[in-house]
Amino acid sequence: MRPHLDEVADDMIQEIQTRVSEYDRPGDGSYSGTLRLAVERVLHFFVDRVADPGHDSAPVADFFRAIGRGEAGEGRSLDAMQTAMRVGGMVAWRRLTEGADVLHVSPRTLGAVGEVLMEFQDELAHAAAEGYSQARAAVAGEMQRRRKRLLDLLFADPPAAREAIADLAAAAHWPVPRTVAAVALGRPRDARQPAFPPDVLADLTRRTPSLIVPDPDGPGRAKLVDRALAGTLAVVGPTVPLMEAARSIQWARKTLCLVQRGVIEADDGPGGQSGVIRCVEHMSTLILFQDEGLITSLADLRLAPLAHLRPSQQDRLAETLLAWLQSGRNANEVAMRLHVHPQTVRYRLRQLEELFGDQLLDPDLRFDLEIVLRARALLAENAGERIVPSSHAAVGDSGEVVTFHRN
């Protein structure tokens, strides 16, 4: 075979350029030279393999790994190269069978050479695919690092410069949106990770796994986000301008904490907490728990008249007072809300009037009472926490000294 390698190389190149359009570049001398170098190198290594089955083919495999990396770097698939390899293999086999007839090579010998040819082709295709995958993984890893860095810049408080964000977004191939919503995720219970649309920035390695969803209020975007987060405990922050993404993630994290405490209820899916929760649907609760120290202090002050009662009595009267405030101070509606007899409600209301006196006539004090009673109810019903008498002293409007703590 050795005396005919140059001739076979010419045939291969001509056939490849005829049948694979990507390799037909008549005006590109450097590309033609590269193609000839690849074909000649393959042919020489192939003949060396036939002559010596133990011949080291690592150099040509490395060469094809480099070709695979180059194709990935140019953004092309391996389809054209694999087609060219098949065409080249067919030309080589055709010349082998023609030479075998002239030289009267036995079928057994020809079959052995053909087997080497197929094995060699398979090795080179595998090497090219390996190089291609390595390059793609490196590109994907670098792109992911850029996107995580972009997430850091958007979540920074104060925010990074708009120009820095625009430059990094361009490098990360992320179209800059007008508005965004941040998402805070609970830790998944299994190793499976949700698959997000390509325009969603994600960093699941953060202490609180987080996302940025561009243009969250666009057509169909809410359903898209819900599908991507199905089975995951996720809190979507409010929609904000791009440069205010830090505010959106702060509210999302606060809401997630309240969900994990049980203050805000989440739909439980199979295996535990899951479901998409939107901050905008719980803004009043977020405001209420923005500063729990203030709520506790206000409760110490406004609920002081209940301090001397047993916890069970406090619970009944607090529940009745909240229902009364929420129902426009209508005893019958309170009875329906609490599923008790109206006479029971009237008895409790008389107790409340004796305890709170003129405070129940003051609109501002009623507003304060509703705030602390709502917080008390949310803690008791969902989080299992209660406000009960304890060691912290507070003075009520009547001057009575009382003690409160939360447990």
User: Per-residue pLDDT tens for 88-139?
Assistant: 888 888 888 887 777 777 888 888 888 888 888 888 889 888 888 887 777 6
Residues in contact with 13: Cβ distance below 8 Å, sequence separation at least 6, in sequence order: 32, 35, 36, 39
Per DSSP, 78 falls in state S
Between 231 and 201, name the one with better pLDDT. 201
What's the average model confidence in pLDDT over 323-339? Answer: 89
Residue positions counted in the chain? 407
For tokens 């969900």, what's the residue? Answer: 259
Q: Give the H or E element holding residue 213.
A: strand 210-214
Render the burial of 360-378: b for 16+ CB within 10 Å, e for the rest. beeeebbebbbbbbbbbeb
CB 151 within 8 A of CB 203: yes
Task: Give tens-digit pLDDT for 214-259.
Answer: 999 989 888 888 888 888 889 999 999 999 999 999 999 999 999 9
> Per-residue pLDDT for 386 more than 70?
no
Task: Supply φ then ψ for residue 334, to 5 degrees.
Answer: -60, -40
Give me the CATH code for the 291-385 domain, please.
1.10.10
- So what's the pLDDT on residue 111? 85
Give the chain's mean pLDDT: 83
pLDDT score of 392 more than 50 = no
Alpha carbon distance 39, 84 (integer Å): 10
Residues contacting 365, CB < 8 A, separation 6+: 302, 359
Identify the weakest region by mean pLDDT among 132-146, 162-176, 357-371, 386-400. Answer: 386-400
Q: Residue 181's pLDDT is what?
A: 96
Domain residue ranges in the chain:
2-141, 178-287, 291-385
Sign of the dihedral defined by the CA atoms of residues 132, 76, 8, 40, in that order: negative
Assign 395 a pLDDT band (cuts: 50, 70, 90): very low
Q: Give me 35's structure tokens.
A: 């193609």
Q: Give the pLDDT band (50/70/90) at residue 193.
A: low
| CATH architecture, range 2-141 | Orthogonal Bundle (1.10)
- Beta strand pairing status for 179-185 and 240-241? antiparallel
Compute the distance between CA of residue 174 and CA of residue 155 in angstroms, rounded to an integer: 16
Long-range contacts of 361-365 (CB under 8 A, 24+ apart): 365/302
Angle between helix 245-261 and helix 107-155 axes, rounded to 10 deg: 90
CA–chain centroid gap for 140, Å, is: 16
> Which residues pair with residue 241 across a beta bridge?
179
User: In the prediction, which pLDDT does 272 show?
Assistant: 44
